[in-house]
Every structure is written in structure tokens, then in C-alpha cells.
Structure 1
Amino acid sequence: MQLNTEERERLVQQITRFVSNNDLLEKLNAKLNEFNPFEVLKVTHHEIRHSNVLSWLLHPKESHFMGDYFLKKIISEVLCGDVVRKNHSLQITDILVNDFHDAEVFREWRNIDLVIISKKNSFVLFIENKVHAGLASHQLEKYLETIKQTFPTMKHIVPVFLTLNSDEAPHDEYYSLSHSQILNILKLALEMYKDRMSNKIYDFIYYYIRTLEDLTMQDEQLIALCSEIYKQHKEAIDAIVKYGMVLNSSLHQAVEKLKENNNLDIIDSTQDNRFFKNDKELWFIPTFLAKNLPSLIRKWKSPFPVAYFFVREEKKLRLILEVGPIQDGQIRLQLLNEIVKHNSQLFSAKSSALTNVNGTFTRIRHSSIDITDWNDIDYLSERINDFLVNDFKYDEVNKVLMDILQNYDSSKIGQQI
């Protein structure tokens, strides 16, 4: 859309007003430039540095004065996830009542990022940590076999695939864990044990929490400040994003083009800021489905219990459909089973997910396409449209979801779940 002279001048004035004598912008700048030793040392996006910090936090006898609390909370969080085949018989209650102070933590043991061993509990947990880097072929299978062969008498082996956003592990015996989950556990742990810590230890963990908030985009103060700035200067910021961030927002622009051409009728962060969006992900829900879905009580990247999201990778675009964190585990299981069992050709989930009352999010459909040029918006929008129609069967999936929701007993879920 071309701007006439009057519109262009007005927009220039809006942008000038936005950058001149803007107290909120100065606060944002100060916030972004707050001292953080992890930022100074450039370790935010390096897996090995995160693994070093986690090794220290997970070791019960280290100087953090939390004992085995953090380790037990991480194990419990992991066991809430889903796997097809377990290598243990543990329940979460076993973790809570047992003593793990004998646990030893090893870094880069036979190329495995983290290995935690508790002989007292006949327990081994090992973590493959991937912040951004890709996963080598058969890497997870190799690590699991190494652990099994080295510790044949251990009753409980728990393999964990740690990623930024709890990506599903490409191996059905691995649990998924995210840095967001670690962040939430660490915040609680710091609050509980702050009186036992020295100032130096407290500050170190505090700065690591800030690093995780930045990495996972969960800094609540920063989010609130950005929201207020955007509210007051929406037109100027939209113009800056549109004209100055073209390359970084090509996925979003392609989706907007599909929306403008009536090829995609959805609600995303443009209409509802409760939907998550960054330069790698875009979360959304078809408009007509949103009208038949209750709102979530628990915080997620979508305000609804069922949501789609695009994931941009270097040479691929993925589309994923998930069922999210419904507060009542039984209601979540009922809805998940209703969807998956209604049409097993369109929807699928791990068998363990269909019985896990503590589940939080479950992928029920996903697919991907190759992208050769992320800068060509016309090509990208055409590619996405073709992908939705021919590969993902987007309209068919939504029709089936709509039928399920309309026939589902709405009294089970109400207005909020």
C-alpha cells in the first residue's frame, strides 16, 4: 500500500514524536542495558555455558545451599512429560520422598552434556542440551545405549532432551524439557532459599534467571514496559517494524498477506497479544474455532487450549497443532482423547500422552516444507498457502476439529479451563 504525501508526513511526525523525549523509551533502553555478567561474557546462547551452570545447580553438594531441592524439582518436572517407552518405574511421589543428596553430576561424560547418578536410588538422569544447535543423526540413540551398557544394574534411567521451547525429542524414549521450565523452577528455588545464600550466590543465580528470561522472552517487567510503549506509540512502531524490519519479519508479512487476501482467517498476536510471536514462531487459531473454545486459566503461548504455530527454521517452515495446559488434567485428557480417537488419520499423539493426567502440551499434528528464499514475501505466502491446502490439509483438519468441539459436551469445560 502506497502512502500519499500527507500520510507520509504524518507518519514521519509520529516516528519523530516516538523517539524524541520519550521517558518510556529511555527506561526501555536502561532496562536492555542493565548489567548482567552472563551477557558481558557472551554466554547467553552457548549450550556449554548453560550446561556448566546447570551442572552446578543440579549438584546437591555444591555451594548454592539448595541441597537436592533443585535436582528433585527438575526430575519431577521431567516425569510429568510423555514418552512412548519408559526406562524406569518411578512416580513423582518417589522423587519427592526420596533423598538424592548422594547424587553426582558429570559434564561431557562420553560427549553427553550432563549425567546425574544417584547410586542410593539406582537412578541415572542424563541431558542432551540444545539451545540452538542441530542434532546429529542417531545421536540420542547412541547416548541412550551408552548409558544402558555402562550402568546395567541401574533400575531407573531417565533420558532428557533439553531445548529452548521443549521441542519434541526425535526419539520416543526421551523426555522433553525446556529452558522455560527450568526458569520457573529456579525462580521458586531462589525465593525459597535466598535466606540461606550469601549475596554472591544469590546474585549469581539472579543474573542467570535474568539470562533465561531474556533467552525465553519471559522478562515480565520488560514485557510490561514494551506493551505500554506499544500502546502509546502503536502507529510509529508499526511503521518502524514494517519499513525497517522487513527481513526479520518475512514470515509474519507472508501470513499478513494471506490474511489480507482472505486465504487465511485467523486470530494471532495482531488481534490478541496473548498469542506468542517472535522472529521464529507465530501462534494462531482459526477465527471460527476461537468462538467455540474456552479460554485457558494457565499461561501458555496461546489463550486457547488448542492452537497452531508456525516455526521458522533455516531452510524449513513447520506447522504444528497442539493441545495445551488445561488446568484440570482429567478434562484435558478427555478433550485430547476425543480429538485423537475421532480421526486417527488426521490426529495422532504418543500413547502415553493419552493417559497422562499431568500432561501440559501435546502435539496432535505437524508437518513441514522446504523454504528456499525467506526474503521473497510473494513466494513465501504462495508456498505457505500451498502447504496449508495440499500438505497439512488445514481446512479438513479445522472442519473435523469444529465437529468435535460442537459435539463435545460443553458443560465439561465451561468458559475457562
Structure 2
Amino acid sequence: MIRYILPFLCLFCIFLAEEDLKHVKHAVLDKNTKIVFWGTRHGNRNPTQFLKEVIDKKSQTWGFEGDSELTKFGKRQAFGLGAELRKYLSGYLDDNYLAPEAKFFSSSASRCQMTLQLALAGLYPPKTFATWKPNINWTPVPYTIDDPMLRMYAIKCPKSDKVWEPISHDLLPELKEQLTRHKALLDYMHKNTGWNASLANAADLADNLLEIQYYKAAYPEWIKNVRLPGYKNSEELIKAYMSFMESHQIACAVYEPCRRMMSGYWLNTILDVIKNVKSGKKSPKVIGYASHTEITLALMKALFVEKEELTTTAGFVLEVRDKPEWSVRVLNHDPIEFDNHVIYKSKYEPIMARKADNDGWVKYDDFVRFVTPHSIKDWRRECGTTSCEL
């Protein structure tokens, strides 16, 4: 049975989780590491659609970047990720970007590209020969846009459309149950916004409420003065709406056909690189990726990491070493507030945990045997198209 857990995302819970992360033991790069992969969800972004109160020209205080675009908070998160990666990779990766050492990839979404650019600014503050203007502590770093790997649903892919259909239309049993259980909440949203009473729109409302809290802006009147039976105050109402955040994206990562379609080609790419490294072929020392919840979380689940939601700029670090024997471990990385970040030990699903040592290392052969069934070698064939059109 597919296990579906809708994330409990209110600011109290976010801050509580961040407080816990402050006391998490930071992972340390193994001295025998041969290659490091890292992947991240984009940083904090604006909602896909704004509440009318938010974009009222007379009172607007946030959202000027446009819908779905990276916010100033997302920019800080992304830079913090890069700075933490610099600490983690210290002594392993050159201080300055060197083409043979590193490759980076992003989805075509501007929020992902900007997240990657800012993470690379934190990873590669220019030193010595890379300094080109003394008062600008930044240098350009090249990256490649790869939607088949990092945003499959954005390309021409009939199979992707098919696996998304029961999610987009709230047809999965778990999503239907949410619609029924929260009918009063969804109807109240519809009455006050004019938006259809769907989970996707409820997720957009949650995004609006989160940004309102971050920007310390005013809540709409219907949120401040609750007129919905069962909710005593605005705090209870906001907490309930926050539970819809990223509901479809998380449903995709949980629903196996969607999970495999979104992450399988990315997983295969990583496996191919590891195989090359193990065989002695010339490879980068670091490869980084910026993608989305439904892609990054799907990959982490395919790697048997226990994870039910993914906050902005959270993701994974995958490390490969050759001694005492070829082995792989997957770490988590998460933001702490906006400017700090932590890389720490993952909790594996039981099947992988039984094969891991105390530091999370899994023998290469076991790792490959477990994850390969979730990979996709030929994405065009899997999509059901032979066209070169993206």
C-alpha cells in the first residue's frame, strides 16, 4: 500500500525543525571520497497565484518578483547552501571554479537557475587568480539546463502527462480523502478567493500565508476574523491551510509511477558517473543540481532516504569512496532559518539501513542492486516518444 503523509507545515513546525537542526551533528567529508553529488530544491519562491489582497497596488508589500519567482529569502537560503558546501568540501575541491573539477545542472525554471547561481556564489567566492574586481565577491560559474533530468514534466513526454493526471485532478485515493475531509476548509477558501476548491489552490493559499508571515505583512480579513465553524482563531485556520503546502508535488514523490518518471533518468545519470569513477575514467570531483520538490524528493525516495517533505533549498549530498572498499552514502542537507545550512546523516528506509554502517555507508554492489530498478536509461523511450523535440 502506498503510504501518503501530508506534511504538517506551519511556521511553528518549521522553526521547531530548524531548532532541532541546530543541534544536529554536521557530516564530515570522508578522506577517501572520489566524487560528491549534491541536489537541491530551489529556494523560497512566490506563490503560483497571489491572493488579491497581496497584489493590491495600494497596499502591496511583497511579491514584486512575479509568481513562482525566487524571493529575497530564497536567495539567502541558496547562498547559505553554497557556503555550507564550501565548508564541507574544504581541502577536497579547489577554492576557485576549475572546469575539470565540477559540473552543475539546473532545470529551466528561473527559480532553479537562480538558486544554483546563488549556491555557486557561496561555493566559489573568488580568490587569487579568479578575482576580477576587488569589490565584487562573485565570479561566474557555468551550468547546463537539463529538463529531461530535472524537470521531466516540462518537456514533450506523454508518459509524464499520464502519471501526473491522477494527481493533478485529485484522483488518487489519498487526495480524494483529503478533498472530502477538508471540504469545509476548501469551500471557505473558494468563498473568499473565488478559486476552485482544489488541493492545488489550497497549496497556493498556503504559499501565500507563508510569505505573509515571512514578510510580516497583513493577513486578509477573512483569515484574521475567522467565520468557519470548528476554528477558534486565525492561528488554527492558518495551521490547517499550511497542511496543504506542496501537496501535489509530495503526492508525486510518493506515487511510484510518478516518482520513477520524475527521478529515474536523473538516478541513471548518477549511476553512470559512479560507474565511470569506479572504472578509473576521468570524472569531475563534484556535480551539483538544482531542481524541484517533486523531482528531488522523488530521487531521495528512490535512494531509500526516509523523507516525507522537502523544504526550500533542502536536498541530498551523495558521496562515493574507494576505501576501505567502494561504497556510497546519502546525506541530507537542510536550511536553518535563511542564512545557515547543515549537511547531516540521513535516515534510510529499513531495506537500505540494514546494509549501512554507522556512518551511512553502503557497499557499492548493494547500493546499485537496490536503486537500479528505479532508474531510467532511455528517457525518450520511457516517455513514449522518439522525437528529439524537448
TM norm structure 1: 0.23
Q: Which one has a bigger Cα radius of gyration?
A: 1
TM-score, normalised with respect to structure 2 = 0.24
With a CA cutoff of 8 Å and minimum separation of 6, indicate the structure with the bigger relative contact order: 2
